């Protein structure tokens, strides 16, 4: 084990953590505002990937344009979901779990039956490798990491400085007090769903060419994103999620490389369970709602 | 009430489906039928393969029936497929098998995937022939009514390694990176022995989870050991792994040992240099594929459009043709003892090639059908699978027996 | 009449919290409601702000009926609510908290001017502007809560126990603030207090709420001389 | 005992009698095989509710079914332990594990507990997959022996298994019902209503929660072990997150506020799934939206349906 190997592990971990962040950020925003665990959030990621496939491979749009379009389309779907389903279950977690599972099954199945059984592929836009500090990475991943970082920073800035962004934070901290300030709960939750869905769609579209398209690709990502946000402090608006995702990526990378792939997943889950026990509000729980 | 607009719409769609689907299914008139049950996971993890198999089998049966069905012992039969969804669960598999046997009185049940193995607890006592497709080694163990006409992982490995040892002498160090399904487990058990047999060095195995997509950490573990050949499957996950291995600077060969989709190979795109990825597959639509499979692919694509199904789906044509030919030869459609006897004692001309039954030395029953192994390589620059060699089962089986027969 | 509550009945967690309560607030006046813990004072304010849905009765504000409206809409109509326990946004800075108070205001220059005014009135908030609200002391938090409520340029301000948990010095400060707001900023105030002496000393009119019903209502001077009030709320031995 | 309760017990008695007589009326192996799996899931779903009333929502109950199933199956395969004994040992293994885990995990509340139990389900599945020398990983354990009494082997038809699972279910339900109606039950409900208040009343929060968790998991282990010996096959996929979610759907869709909610839920949702099988691969397209619709119109679960009619007729 030399410095080179450790560096490789760090880079691998960061590269998967960065992409997880997009899904986790949306999930935590939705949880922070609506107080429901949207188990169908992974499906928005899946739909994003399929949407980009449909737009770029079948309709012939430019890849980046297809991603933007997919973000808009999936955000619209998110608005519908919020308007007709989640809004009624705001802060009622128990039935909302079943609702989101129903939604998940429906979306998965419609993609499977709607797009045919064969594998789908988004043609990669970037080819070639980048050698960074002696570790070889595909150019595609570097670009994805960069775009993901830009998107996350954009969201952070939006939440920090834009008035609607500040309203999201206010509602996450105290919904009732926010409504007393004249902040509309419904428009905030709609906005949150828009951001969350668009981010998930972007993640799907970005990762589509790197990984593969599969109608069940959402659930494993959802599980990891859930881990990332509990690690960061559930409902924490930005702070913890970023660190949480990166920690998940790093732990997975180190454990896989050092001990082995299957045991790495067990270790990952055990670590999360352990952290929750000693720090029940998440390791980096900073902006927890009161 | 406006709030319920969307939900009402969903309800309406669901109701429409609920009324249309049964109608679409109940159109045939009862003549004499040879019923074949299909205990499939139409929902759940293996749904794509099962649905594709369902569609292609339906097309085939439609064709046979149009030609007047088959004649068994002077009686004309139409074939009827009865699909039961097991949701890819064991209890679903048992329930579905029970339903097929007790309600429909079927004598043949096709099954895909490992949790489906649970059906043998129902089929064995009922003397119903159970056609399995799991690589699990225990699947056949002492099971009189279980039949597997499935390319054995061991046979594929032998054929491919033999080809590699003869044609690619630079391969010396072999490692296994495989998904942790039953084929992967089997591979991790047999590969060290096989490598020793072919004078190669086995340097380690790692099994990853089925949902894995990011292989960088795993490769960081394996590649420093400098393998020349990575043994894996030819599915989507493996293609992804291969692509990422090359991004990580791997320069050696890959060997897939199970069936998989040709499209999955496209994942590698132009990343893998031509001829570096070998596997026991054949592009079902290409000229290299057996004629029947090629025609089948054409018919499937005409009806359901591009995006060919996994070739595992086509595998079930082997089962269908086996049943059709065996009942004709046995002269009965319900004496399963006799049909099984006829089945395992003869050599059959099935869509994937000449098939005969073996296995007494390994599993105590002759339930395993062995067929030719297609050794192919991926020509990435043309996105094509090139058939290198077809190795008859007879050339591979002796080695198999020598290495893996009962001690 | 600025605010008119007519025969309001509200249930809270299944039990009756308010029963046929009628309260009126004149424009420019300070009205106080005193009562023991659990008398329904907070529920009344919550009902005005739309946080609780009444079972029966009506609430009129500036000639519009507001019961049944969403609380954010009521806030935008000009009712500022300084809730029980202050309910600041603890992880936002003082300045951000103030800006949230002006969420319904569209005029940027107006907001800036408002912040300026509030800083002038509460200099300590200016000092703490970049600090997270959760880290302020009790008195500072109360000032921020009032400041935030004033940011929305309310016509009517609902104050829920502003003196709770504060030192006697701070209570006096709050008293001054209430007077200044009503006199200088021309904001009507509905004040709820357990500190009845302080409340009655600043109010123009007072109500006594007991187990969800209005027991007494009168000018503060008369209430202060009422035997029941003296015994039960002013702690005087008779 | 008031009138309402008498009607309830009468109904229960009728259903129990129907349960016992069913195979006599209709000896259809397929229906029996469906019913006995529903019984298995009823036990898990009612256990899920028992934990829920203490204020903890779990999505990990299938993990304990897995512990029971694997323990019992491995013991009978490797050491020839009688499945009848295995039934008990499987339950105890799950119970002991729940006891240990519960003391640590139940201190965490709210959404964090949901996620921890989700982790638990996933860990258990990954563990069975990983421990290949013993569990054969993804190949599963094949030919797990079935039950027998003296020389009579269960399994020629489904009737013995049906009665066994019916009896297990009735015992489990009886125990959990009595528990809820006893003084312990009052404490459990108090915990669910108000944590802090319960503590003030002298209820040891963790101890009572662990009691509920262990009881529910014990029965999960027992039915898991029954499942293994009935199916004769154990596979990790049967005990991961998805089956846990199914248990939770049965509980919530039925109505988690009432003891009989999960029972109704298991029957109706499983029945619905079965009915929708005619749609073959299109089944999730209908099943998913149906779940959504049930929750939209009956947020309190199917058990709220009669109440809804009752209310509307009163108006």
D41 sits in which H/E element: helix D29-52
pLDDT band at A289 (very low <50, low <70, confident <90, very high): very low
3-state helix, strand, coil in chain B (%, to 5): 50, 20, 30
Q: What is the pLDDT of residue C10?
A: 92
Q: Is pLDDT above 90 for A241?
A: no
With a CB cutoff of 8 Å and minimum separation 6, the contacts of D237 are B45, B88, B89, B115, D125
pTM, two decimals, is 0.91
Burial class (CB in 10 A: 0-12, 13-18, 19+), B62: middle
Given D115, D241, D284, which is nearest A105 (Cβ)?
A: D284
Q: Is pLDDT above 70 for B231?
A: yes
DSSP state of C134: G
Within 8 A of A264 by CB-CB distance, chain B residues are 217
Q: Tell me the per-residue pLDDT of B345-370, one tens digit each, with 9 for 90 and over.
A: 999 999 888 999 998 888 888 889 99
Residue B261 domain-assigned (yes or no): yes
Taking residues D230-251, what's their average pLDDT?
92
Q: Are B206 and B260 in contact (CB under 8 A)?
A: no
Please state, in angstroms and rounded to a whole number, the distance separating the CA atoms of residues A251 and A13: 7
Q: Are residues B51 and B66 in the same domain?
A: yes
3-state helix, strand, coil in chain A (%, to 5): 75, 5, 20
Sequence spans of domains, chain D? 24-238
With a CB cutoff of 8 Å and minimum separation 6, the contacts of A105 are D284, D287, D288, D291
* A–D interface: beta-carbon pairs under 8 A: 123
DSSP state of A214: -
Taking residues D30-56, what's their average pLDDT?
93
Q: Are D217 and D121 in contact (CB under 8 A)?
A: no
Q: Are residues B51 and B98 in the same domain?
A: yes
Q: What is the pLDDT of residue B238?
A: 87
Q: Are residues B37 and B145 in the same domain?
A: yes
DSSP lists the bridge partners of residue C10 as C18
With a CB cutoff of 8 Å and minimum separation 6, the contacts of C89 are A169, A170, A173, A174, A177, A178, C96, C97, C100, C133
Within 10 Å of residue A134's Cβ, how many Cβ atoms?
11
Closest CA–CA distance from residue A177 to any residue of chain D (Å): 22
Closest CA–CA distance from residue A159 to any residue of chain B (Å): 30
The sign of the dihedral angle between the CA atoms of C59, C63, C65, C69 is negative
Q: Are residues B305 and B318 in the same domain?
A: yes
Closest CA–CA distance from residue D181 to any residue of chain B (Å): 33
Contact exists between B and C (3 or more beta carbon pairs < 8 Å): no
Within 10 Å of residue A145's Cβ, how many Cβ atoms?
20
Tokens 């009168």 -> residue: C218
Q: Are strands B108-111 and B33-40 parallel, antiparallel or unpaired?
A: parallel
Burial class (CB in 10 A: 0-12, 13-18, 19+), D87: buried
Mean pLDDT for all residues in chain D = 89
Within 10 Å of residue A250's Cβ, how many Cβ atoms?
18
Closest CA–CA distance from residue A98 to any residue of chain D (Å): 6
Burial class (CB in 10 A: 0-12, 13-18, 19+), C36: middle
Q: Tell me the per-residue pLDDT of B370-388, one tens digit each, with 9 for 90 and over.
A: 999 999 988 877 778 888 9
The answer to whether the Cβ–Cβ distance between B51 and A257 falls below 8 Å is: no
Please state, in angstroms and rounded to a whole number, the distance separating the CA atoms of residues D164 and D19: 12
Q: What is the interface pTM, i.e. ipTM, of the complex?
A: 0.90
Within 8 A of D129 by CB-CB distance, chain A residues are 262
Most confident of A76-85, A137-146, B315-324, C14-23: A76-85
Helices (H), ranges, C102-137: 108-121, 123-127
Q: Is pLDDT above 80 for D3?
A: no
**Assigned token pair, C90:** 């603890």
The answer to whether the Cβ–Cβ distance between A265 and B236 falls below 8 Å is: no
Any chains having at least 3 CB pairs less than 8 A from chain D are A, B
For chain B, the residue count is 407
Compare C188 and B73 and report the one with higher pLDDT. Answer: C188
Residue B196 domain-assigned (yes or no): yes
Q: Are D67 and D50 in contact (CB under 8 A)?
A: no
B369 sits in which H/E element: strand B368-370
The sign of the dihedral angle between the CA atoms of D178, D183, D187, D190 is positive
DSSP state of B309: P
Q: Is residue C75 less than 8 Å (CB to CB) from chain A?
A: yes
Q: Are residues B99 and B122 in the same domain?
A: yes
DSSP lists the bridge partners of residue B72 as B75
The answer to whether the Cβ–Cβ distance between C88 and A163 falls below 8 Å is: no
Please state, in angstroms and rounded to a whole number, the distance separating the CA atoms of residues D38 and D168: 12
Residue B106 domain-assigned (yes or no): yes
Residue B173 domain-assigned (yes or no): yes
Q: Is residue C87 less than 8 Å (CB to CB) from chain A?
A: yes
Contact exists between A and B (3 or more beta carbon pairs < 8 Å): yes
Output the domain CATH number for residue B359. Answer: 3.40.50.2300
Sequence spans of domains, chain C? 1-78+155-162+187-238
Mean pLDDT for all residues in chain B = 85
For chain D, the residue count is 315
The answer to whether the Cβ–Cβ distance between A99 and D295 falls below 8 Å is: yes
**Assigned token pair, D47:** 């256990």
Please state, in angstroms and rounded to a whole number, the distance separating the CA atoms of residues D261 and D46: 8
Question: Among C2, C44, C51, which residue's Cα sits nearest to residue C20?
Answer: C44
Query: Which runs of E-coded beta strand occur in B318-365?
Result: 348-350, 353-358
DSSP lists the bridge partners of residue D234 as D141
Q: Tell me the per-residue pLDDT of B111-128, one tens digit each, with 9 for 90 and over.
A: 988 888 889 889 998 999
Q: Which domain holds residue B261?
A: 153-279+373-404
Residue B16 domain-assigned (yes or no): no
HSE, side-chain direction, 13 A CA sphere, residue D57: 20
In CATH terms, the superfamily for domain C1-78+155-162+187-238 is P-loop containing nucleotide triphosphate hydrolases (3.40.50.300)
Q: What is the pLDDT of residue D176?
A: 94
pLDDT band at B309 (very low <50, low <70, confident <90, very high): low
Taking residues C41-66, what's their average pLDDT?
92
Picking from B13-17, B395-399, C94-98, D131-135, which range would have the lowest pLDDT averaged per residue? B13-17
Please state, in angstroms and rounded to a whole number, the distance separating the CA atoms of residues A150 and A148: 5
Given D119, D129, D245, which is nearest A272 (Cβ)?
A: D119
Q: Are residues B239 and B387 in the same domain?
A: yes
Q: Are A71 and A205 in contact (CB under 8 A)?
A: yes
DSSP lists the bridge partners of residue C226 as none
Rounded to whole angstroms, the maximal C-alpha distance in chain A is 58
Compare B401 and B313 and report the one with higher pLDDT. Answer: B401
**Assigned token pair, A36:** 């429901």
Within 10 Å of residue C184's Cβ, how many Cβ atoms?
9
Any chains having at least 3 CB pairs less than 8 A from chain B are A, D
Given D138, D143, D285, which is nearest B17 (Cβ)?
A: D285
Please state, in angstroms and rounded to a whole number, the distance separating the CA atoms of residues B350 and B324: 10
pLDDT band at A290 (very low <50, low <70, confident <90, very high): very low
Please state, in angstroms and rounded to a whole number, the distance separating the CA atoms of residues D125 and B390: 40
Question: Among B236, B53, B245, which residue's Cα sits nearest to residue A120?
Answer: B236
D85 sits in which H/E element: helix D83-105
pLDDT band at A240 (very low <50, low <70, confident <90, very high): confident
Q: Is residue A183 less than 8 Å (CB to CB) from chain C?
A: yes
Please state, in angstroms and rounded to a whole number, the distance separating the CA atoms of residues B284 and B270: 21
Helices (H), ranges, B129-181: 153-167
Angle at C189 between CA C185 and CA C195, to 5 degrees: 120
Compare C54 and D12 and report the one with higher pLDDT. Answer: C54
Please state, in angstroms and rounded to a whole number, the distance separating the CA atoms of residues C183 and C187: 7
Q: Is pLDDT above 80 for A283?
A: no
Picking from A281-290, B247-256, B275-284, D299-308, which range would have the lowest pLDDT averaged per residue? A281-290
Any chains having at least 3 CB pairs less than 8 A from chain C are A
Q: Are residues B341 and B393 in the same domain?
A: no
Compare A285 and D101 and report the one with higher pLDDT. Answer: D101
Give SS3 for A66: helix
Residue of B nearest to A128 (CA): B247
Given B11, B43, B182, which is nearest D284 (Cβ)?
A: B43
DSSP lists the bridge partners of residue C26 as none
Within 8 A of C75 by CB-CB distance, chain A residues are 179-182
Q: Is pLDDT above 90 for B28?
A: no
Contact exists between D and C (3 or more beta carbon pairs < 8 Å): no
DSSP lists the bridge partners of residue B201 as B173
**Assigned token pair, A163:** 């008035």
With a CB cutoff of 8 Å and minimum separation 6, the contacts of B27 are none
| Domains contained in chain B, number | 2
Q: What is the pLDDT of residue D6?
A: 80
Mean pLDDT for all residues in chain A = 87
The answer to whether the Cβ–Cβ distance between C99 and A179 falls below 8 Å is: no
Q: Are residues B144 and B197 in the same domain?
A: no
Q: Tell me the per-residue pLDDT of D159-210, one tens digit each, with 9 for 90 and over.
A: 899 999 999 999 999 999 999 989 888 889 988 888 888 888 888 888 899 9
Query: Which runs of E-coded beta strand occur in A103-213?
Result: 129-132, 135-138
């Amino acid at each position: 084990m030399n410095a080179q190997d450790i560096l490789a592990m760090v880079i691998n971990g960061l590269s998967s953590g960065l992409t997880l962040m997009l899904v986790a950020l949306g999930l935590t925003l939705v949880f922070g505002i609506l107080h429901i665990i949207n188990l169908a959030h992974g499906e928005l990621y899946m739909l994003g990937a399929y949407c980009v496939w449909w737009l770029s491979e079948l309709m012939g749009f430019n890849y980046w344009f297809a991603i933007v379009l997919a973000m808009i389309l999936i955000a619209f779907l998110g608005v519908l979901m919020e308007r007709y389903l989640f809004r009624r279950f705001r802060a009622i977690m128990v039935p909302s779990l079943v609702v989101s599972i129903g939604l998940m099954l429906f979306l998965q199945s419609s993609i499977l039956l709607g797009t045919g059984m064969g594998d789908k592929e988004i043609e990669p836009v970037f080819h070639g490798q980048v050698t960074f500090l002696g570790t070889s990475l595909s150019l595609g991943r570097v670009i994805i990491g960069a775009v993901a970082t830009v998107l996350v920073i954009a969201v952070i800035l939006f939440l920090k400085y834009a008035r609607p962004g500040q309203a999201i934070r206010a509602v996450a901290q105290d919904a009732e007090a926010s409504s007393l300030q004249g902040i509309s709960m419904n428009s905030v939750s709609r906005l949150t769903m828009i951001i969350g869905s668009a981010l998930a769609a972007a993640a799907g579209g970005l990762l589509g060419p790197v990984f593969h398209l599969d109608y069940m690709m959402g659930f494993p990502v959802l599980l990891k994103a859930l881990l990332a946000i509990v690690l960061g402090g559930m409902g924490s608006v930005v702070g913890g999620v970023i660190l949480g995702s990166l920690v998940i990526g790093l732990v997975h990378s180190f454990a896989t490389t050092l001990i082995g792939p299957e045991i790495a997943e067990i270790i990952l889950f055990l670590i999360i369970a352990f952290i929750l026990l000693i720090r029940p509000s998440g390791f980096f729980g900073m902006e927890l709602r009161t | 009430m406006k709030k319920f607009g969307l939900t009402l719409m969903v309800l309406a769609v669901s109701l429409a489906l609920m009324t249309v689907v049964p109608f679409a299914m109940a159109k045939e008139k009862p003549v004499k039928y040879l019923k074949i049950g299909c205990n499939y996971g139409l929902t759940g993890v293996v749904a794509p393969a099962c649905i594709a198999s369902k569609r292609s089998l339906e097309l085939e049966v439609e064709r046979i029936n149009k030609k007047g069905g088959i004649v068994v012992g002077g009686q004309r039969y139409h074939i009827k497929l009865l699909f039961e969804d097991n949701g890819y669960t064991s209890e679903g598999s048992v329930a579905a098998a029970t339903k097929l046997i007790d309600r429909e009185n079927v004598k043949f049940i096709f099954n895909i995937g490992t949790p489906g193995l649970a059906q043998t607890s129902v089929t064995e006592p009922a003397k119903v022939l159970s056609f399995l497709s799991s690589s699990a080694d225990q699947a056949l163990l002492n099971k009189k009514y279980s039949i597997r006409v499935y390319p054995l992982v061991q046979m594929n490995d032998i054929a491919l390694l033999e080809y590699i040892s003869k044609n690619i002498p630079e391969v010396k160090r072999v490692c296994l990176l495989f998904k942790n399904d039953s084929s992967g487990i089997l591979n991790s058990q047999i590969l060290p022995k096989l490598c020793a047999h072919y004078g190669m060095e086995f340097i380690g195995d790692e099994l990853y989870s089925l949902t894995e997509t990011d292989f960088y950490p795993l490769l960081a573990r394996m590649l420093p050991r400098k393998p020349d050949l990575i043994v894996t499957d030819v599915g989507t996950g493996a293609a992804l792994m291969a692509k990422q291995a090359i991004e990580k600077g791997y320069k050696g060969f890959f060997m897939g040992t199970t069936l998989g989709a040709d499209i999955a190979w496209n994942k590698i795109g132009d990343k893998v240099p031509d001829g570096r990825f070998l596997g026991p597959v054949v592009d079902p639509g290409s000229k290299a594929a057996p004629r029947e499979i090629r025609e089948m692919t054409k018919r499937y694509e005409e009806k359901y459009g591009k995006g060919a199904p996994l070739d595992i789906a086509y595998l079930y044509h082997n089962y269908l043709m086996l049943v059709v030919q065996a009942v004709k030869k046995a002269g009965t459609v319900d004496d399963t003892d006799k049909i099984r006897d006829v089945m395992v004692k003869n050599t059959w001309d099935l869509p994937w090639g000449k098939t005969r039954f073996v296995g007494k030395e390994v599993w105590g029953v002759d339930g395993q059908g062995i067929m030719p192994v297609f050794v192919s390589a991926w020509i990435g620059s043309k996105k094509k699978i090139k058939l290198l060699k077809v190795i008859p089962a007879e050339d591979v089986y002796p080695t198999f027996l020598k290495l893996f027969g009962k001690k | 009449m600025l605010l008119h509550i007519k025969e309001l009945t509200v249930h809270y967690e299944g039990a009756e919290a308010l029963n046929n309560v009628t309260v009126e607030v004149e424009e420019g006046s300070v009205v106080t409601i005193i009562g023991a813990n659990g008398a329904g004072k907070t529920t009344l304010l919550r009902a005005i702000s739309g946080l609780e849905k009444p079972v029966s009765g009506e609430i009129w504000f500036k000639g519009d009926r507001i019961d049944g409206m969403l609380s954010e809409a009521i806030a935008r109509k000009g009712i500022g609510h300084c809730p029980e326990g202050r309910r600041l946004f603890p992880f936002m800075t003082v300045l951000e908290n103030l800006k949230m108070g002006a969420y319904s205001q569209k005029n940027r220059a107006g907001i800036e001017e408002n912040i300026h005014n509030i800083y002038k009135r509460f200099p300590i908030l200016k000092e703490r502007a970049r600090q997270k609200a959760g880290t302020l002391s009790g008195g500072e938090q109360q000032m921020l809560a009032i400041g935030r409520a004033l940011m929305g340029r309310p016509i009517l301000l609902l104050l829920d126990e502003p003196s709770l948990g504060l030192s006697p010095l701070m209570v006096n400060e709050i008293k001054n603030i209430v007077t200044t707001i009503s006199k200088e900023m021309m904001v009507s105030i509905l004040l709820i207090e357990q500190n009845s002496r302080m409340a009655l000393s600043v109010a123009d009119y007072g109500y006594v709420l007991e187990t969800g019903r209005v027991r007494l209502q009168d000018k503060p001077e008369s209430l202060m001389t009422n035997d029941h009030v003296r015994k039960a709320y002013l702690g005087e031995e008779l | 005992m008031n009138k309402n309760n008498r009607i309830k017990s009468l109904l229960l008695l009728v259903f129990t009698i129907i349960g016992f007589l069913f195979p006599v009326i209709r000896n259809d192996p397929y229906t029996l095989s469906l019913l006995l799996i529903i019984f298995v899931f009823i036990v898990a779903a009612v256990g899920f509710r028992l934990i829920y009333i203490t204020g903890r929502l779990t999505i990990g109950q299938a993990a304990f079914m897995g512990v029971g199933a694997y323990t019992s199956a491995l013991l009978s395969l490797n050491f020839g332990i009688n499945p009848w004994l295995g039934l008990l040992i499987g339950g105890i293994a799950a119970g002991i594990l729940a006891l240990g885990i519960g003391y640590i995990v139940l201190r965490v509340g709210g959404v964090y507990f949901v996620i921890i139990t989700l982790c638990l389900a996933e860990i258990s599945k990954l563990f069975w997959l990983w421990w290949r020398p013993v569990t054969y990983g993804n190949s599963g354990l094949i030919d797990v022996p079935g039950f027998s009494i003296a020389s009579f082997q269960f399994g020629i038809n489904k009737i013995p298994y049906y009665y066994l699972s019916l009896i297990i279910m009735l015992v489990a339900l009886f125990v959990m019902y009595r528990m809820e109606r006893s003084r312990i039950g009052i404490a459990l409900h108090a915990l669910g209503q108000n944590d802090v208040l319960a503590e003030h009343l002298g209820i040891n929060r963790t101890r009572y929660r662990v009691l509920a968790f262990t009881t529910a998991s014990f029965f999960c282990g027992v039915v898991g072990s029954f499942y293994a010996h009935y199916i004769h096959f154990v596979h990790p996929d049967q005990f991961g997150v998805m089956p846990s979610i199914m248990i939770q759907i049965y509980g919530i869709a039925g109505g988690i506020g009432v003891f009989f909610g999960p029972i109704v839920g298991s029957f109706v949702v499983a029945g619905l799934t079965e009915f929708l099988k005619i749609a073959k691969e299109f089944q999730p397209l209908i099943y998913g939206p149906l779940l959504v619709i049930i929750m939209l119109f009956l947020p309190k679960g199917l058990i709220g349906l009669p109440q809804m009619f009752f209310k509307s007729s009163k108006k």
